[in-house]
Amino acid sequence: MNAAASVGGRDSVRLFCALTLPGDVLDRLVVWQASLPAGRHRLVRRENLHLTLAFLGSRPTGDVEPIRAELEAAAAETRPIELHERSYRETSSVGMLVFDDADDAAGELARALHSRLQGIGVYEPERRPWLPHLTVLRFRERPRLSPSLPGLGSVCPSGAAVYHSLLRPTGAEYVVLHEVDLC
């Protein structure tokens, strides 16, 4: 996608960087989500499933290009990433799948990206270490689910992307501004 066209006419945009997943993994996740018990939660749509590397918040539109460049540079140094689902976990507002990072390649990418983004002044490190996770549902009241895992096996992210997060009455819409292949 053309980043300039996607954010044209805006002074600032809500941004984050994330790992993207191959279509077959997304398809299996959607089937698994559909098997979850009904309740007062909202499933994350297929097109919004990702593993966040760095949430940047509201940034001037002029930051998109330097962020893209730093993501590309960090991704160029990345070894192949292999993730394995470990558990389902709920916070106060989301249900997520937590992954093990087979040889810390995703962790190395996250740390390198964090350092690069901090170096250009667009990222403030979080207090807790980065955790490879995939938000699969959102809620206001914790549903306390304990589903079986989807059985994804080895997951190799297909890419890393800079996303524009648009807040809508129906929920967030994520627009990929730039994606770099990891495979």
Per-residue confidence band for 164, with pLDDT thresholds at 50, 70 and 90: very high
Is the C-alpha dihedral spanning 154, 159, 160, 165 positive or negative?
negative
- Residue range 46-73, pLDDT digits in tens: 999 999 999 999 999 999 999 999 999 9
Q: Which domain holds residue 57?
A: 3-181
| Class of residue 52 by CB neighbours under 10 A (exposed 0-12, middle 13-18, buried 19+) | middle
The tokens of 24 are what? Answer: 């077959």
The amino acid at 104: D
pTM: 0.91
- Residue range 123-143, pLDDT digits in tens: 998 999 999 999 999 999 999
CATH number at residue 168: 3.90.1140.10
Tokens 């940034």, located at residue:
59
Domain count, the chain: 1
- Residue range 8-54, pLDDT digits in tens: 557 999 999 999 999 999 999 999 999 999 999 999 999 999 999 99
